[in-house]
Structure formats: structure tokens, C-alpha cells
Amino acid sequence: MPDFLINTHTVADATDLKNYIARVRGMPAVLDMAIARTKASEAAGVRAPKFQIESIIAGATQLTSGAPFGANGTGAPDAALWADVKAKTEKLVAAGTLPRAEADALLAEARTAIADLKPAYGRVIDWAKGALATAPSGKVGAVTLPNGAAYYAAALKLNTTTDLTADQIHAIGRKEVARIEAEQDALAQKAGVKDRHAYYAQRAQQFPAKPFDEASREAYLKEANRFVGHVRGLLGPYFGTLPAYGIEVVREPSFSEVAGGAAHASAPSPDGKRPARTYVHLVGTQKDPASLYTLMCHEAVPGHNMQGDIQVRQKGGPKFRAVTGYIAFGEGWGLYAEAMCAEMQAFPDIAADFMRLDAELFRAARLVTDTGIHALGWTEEEAVKYLNETGRAPPEMARSEVRRYITLPGQATGYKIGMLKIMEERRKAEKALGPKFDIKSFHDLLIASGSQPLSILERRVDDWIAARK
């Protein structure tokens, strides 16, 4: 779907705008190819779950609603893609980099290209409606697919860049859940309450669940951006390579915003003209305000936005490390970044540090949930129940997350496995080097040369230790 163009495609001049339009023109062929591949998978016994097909119908319908898809495009609000290309074009005109006449001509081309997407999306919707009646639901993990066990083993290897089995990862998840809960109990007692359950209850009473409104959205974005700036000011003693470009926290676009949706980050453009961004979903029920800080550490600084900033400016290393990513490395760094915020004393109070552990608990529960779905045969409802009760994800978020795990087998395991490996490598280096260990150089070793498999990271750390000895 061409929604990937929105907010991600850099349009700095007329050439960029023409490339943008060309990509839209090419989308019908991409959609038809996706339909053909899906039908081939169905013939082999691999079918999308019912909820995913329902989402495709809803998404395709929404993306093709409004101008220029209506009757002559009149009297209808702008569709998301058309609104995006218009906004980017007007920005070029306002900046004086695109003459009005040329802009109008390009807008006319864009309007035609976008309108021409309608038949292709119609074919997507027709396929989806035909597949919906017999789509599987309930138990829909890899274990239900032809050669599902081998497929899931390959997915784990791809996403963790290790040889860990599903059973091993499930056991690691269970062990990490127990450890984190114990640390939460200790922190709760430090705050003057009996245990984590009492502290959660105290926070819930202090901040009862309520829906987002415009005032709370504005306050959230203001505090998030303030905190990101604050953490940037703490990086010096811990990192040699620092972010150079702008970093901003913004609301998820309306066409893709959902209650309980996961925040996500985008890297800046290589020239820095488009800043790094963290997108947050601000609909549905508000979470404990203390959870904001860990999320910003993970997605923004020193997490993904900082990581992306450094990666796009990488010089001298292999090109693929600057333009691709390994889940275990990238998301492992995101979780490690959360722990670094605690080490840098970035959090304002005990509540924020407790919610850091809450976030880590959720990632540990992911290991259990993902392997439960795809190796142990859990149903969607069993997985949602575990993630809600043990991982403490609100019901709407638990549902959204579990459906993500179902459609992306193994992806959720890379986070915690990556974090554990990074922490293991740091402990190894600290022990081997003693007073010669330099945290700034170690962090530069990790992120200043781009994304890499954990096995390569381990080898590079070993070489680094040997050289510093």
C-alpha cells in the first residue's frame, strides 16, 4: 500500500516530487503482484488470519475514500495520500524552490496518478472479501502452517541472529519475567508500599484511566519533546558519537492511528532536512504518565532516533549497515537505551524508573507470548490473556500486539534477546578491561558502525577488548 510514502518520502525539490509521483504510478503493479503472491500462498495452505483480512479491507477502503477518488473528486475531503502530496508541494512553493506554474502541473500529474490507484485497490478489496468467509481464526500461529516448525525456527534465527530454539527463548522469557517482577517489588518497597501489586494499585488510583482529549494530547507531546531535549543534554559522558540532526515527537497520522498502537521511530534523511521522528498514538485510553519517559528513551534518545541519526551519517563502513537493520541489534539497542536512561539518572522519580521495569516486563512477556503462539499452539485469546495479565498490557494494546506477533513470527523476540546480548557483551568487556574500560568508546563500537548481527557484534567486542588490553 502507498501509505508508506506519507511522512517518510523526502520532497526537497521538483525532482523529489517527480520521483514521489512515479512511485505512486508504480503502486498498481505492486498491489497486483501482492495479490498474485497471496493466492499462491493460499494454494500452498498458507492463509492470512481473519483479522488481517478485515484490516486490509478497512485500510484499502479508507485510503481510497475522499478526493480524488470520489465523483470527480468534488465535495469530498482529501484522501490521505492526496493531502500529503499537496502539503509537500505547497511547502516547496512557499520556500521558493518550486515555481507556482510547475507546481500546478505536477499536482495535476499527482492527482491523476493517485486516482488511478482506485481500480488496483478495488482488486485488493475483491480478493479480501472473497477470502474472508473461510479465513482462519483462533489458533493461527506458525504451528498451524505446513512445515510451520521449520518456518518458525528460521524466523527466530532471522530475528534474533542467534541459534536459540523456541523452547530456549520461552524459558528465557519466563526467567526474565520473574527477575523483573522481583526488581519491581524492591523498587515499590523503596517507594514505601508492600510490593509491585500495591504500587500498581496506588498509581491506578492516582491516575485513573481516562480517554485522550485535545488538552492531554498537547500536554503529552510537550512533555515528550521536553524530555527528549533533556536526555540529549546528558549524553556527553556516555557517548562519543552524538546525534547531529533534529529529533521530534509527533502524533501518528490519523489514517493509521489506533487505540493501543505501538509508538515507532523514523530516521532522519541523510542530509538532515527531514528530522528524526517518534510517532505516538494518542487515541484510546491514556497510560500512566510515568510511562512516557521510558518510551522516549527507547524510540528517541538514546534509542532509535539517535541510532538512526548516527546510522544515516555513517562514513567508511559497509553501505548496507547504513540502510538496513537487524531486529535484534536495533531493538536490542532500544531496550538497552531504556536502561541507559536509568544509568544516566534521566528519570524524574521512582515512578518513572518503576515504569521502565514495567516496559522491560512487557518485552520479557513477549518472548513467552511469541513462542507460545508459534511453537506451543496458543490461541489468540490465550496470548492476549497472558500479555494482559503478566505483561500488563491494557486489553486494547494486548490485542494489537498479539495480532502483530501472529503476522510477524519471531519479530517480537529480537528485542529482549538483543538487549540481553548487548548487556552480556558490556559486562564481559568491563570484567576483561577493568579500569581500561571506556563506556564512550564501547557505545561508539556498538552504534557508530551501523546495524549488525549479534554474532558479528560479539566478535567485534572481542577484537576491541584484545586491542585495548
pLDDT tens string 262-288: 899 999 999 999 999 999 999 998 999
Q: At what angle do helices 100-115 and 14-25 cross, to 10 degrees?
A: 10
Question: What's the whole-number average pLDDT of the chain?
Answer: 93
pLDDT of residue 9: 58
Question: Most confidently modeled of 250-259, 407-416, 449-458?
Answer: 407-416
Find out whether 28 and 119 touch, Cβ atoms under 8 Å. Answer: yes
Provide, rounded to the nearest whole percent, the portion of the chain with pLDDT above 70. Answer: 95
Which amino acid does the sequence have at 400? S
Mean pLDDT, to the nearest integer, of 232-252? 97
pLDDT of residue 321: 64
Q: Is the pLDDT at 69 greater than 60, yes or no? A: yes
What does the pLDDT look like over 159-195, one tens digit per residue? 999 999 999 999 999 999 999 999 999 999 999 999 9
pLDDT of residue 5: 54
The domain ranges of the chain are 2-137, 149-415
| Nearest residue to 416 via CA among 381, 375, 372, 370 | 370
pLDDT of residue 325: 79
Reported as type and span, the H/E element at residue 251 is strand 247-251
pLDDT of residue 328: 96
Looking at the DSSP bridge assignments, the partners of residue 265 are: 278
Q: Is the pLDDT at 390 greater than 70, yes or no? A: yes
- Which comes out higher in pLDDT, residue 20 or 171? 171
pLDDT band at 72 (very low <50, low <70, confident <90, very high): very low
pLDDT band at 320 (very low <50, low <70, confident <90, very high): low
Q: Model-level pTM?
A: 0.83
> What is the maximal distance between C-alpha atoms in the chain?
73
Q: Is the pLDDT at 304 greater than 90, yes or no? A: yes
What does the pLDDT look like over 370-388, one tens digit per residue? 999 999 999 999 999 999 9
Find out whether 391 and 427 touch, Cβ atoms under 8 Å. Answer: no
| Nearest residue to 284 via CA among 309, 262, 316, 308 | 262
pLDDT of residue 450: 82
Which amino acid does the sequence have at 293? Y
Q: Is the pLDDT at 49 greater than 80, yes or no? A: yes
**φ and ψ of 12, to 5 deg:** -105, -15
Mean pLDDT, to the nearest integer, of 407-434? 97
Around Cβ 94, how many Cβ atoms within 10 Å?
9
pLDDT band at 8 (very low <50, low <70, confident <90, very high): low
Q: Is the pLDDT at 75 greater than 70, yes or no? A: no
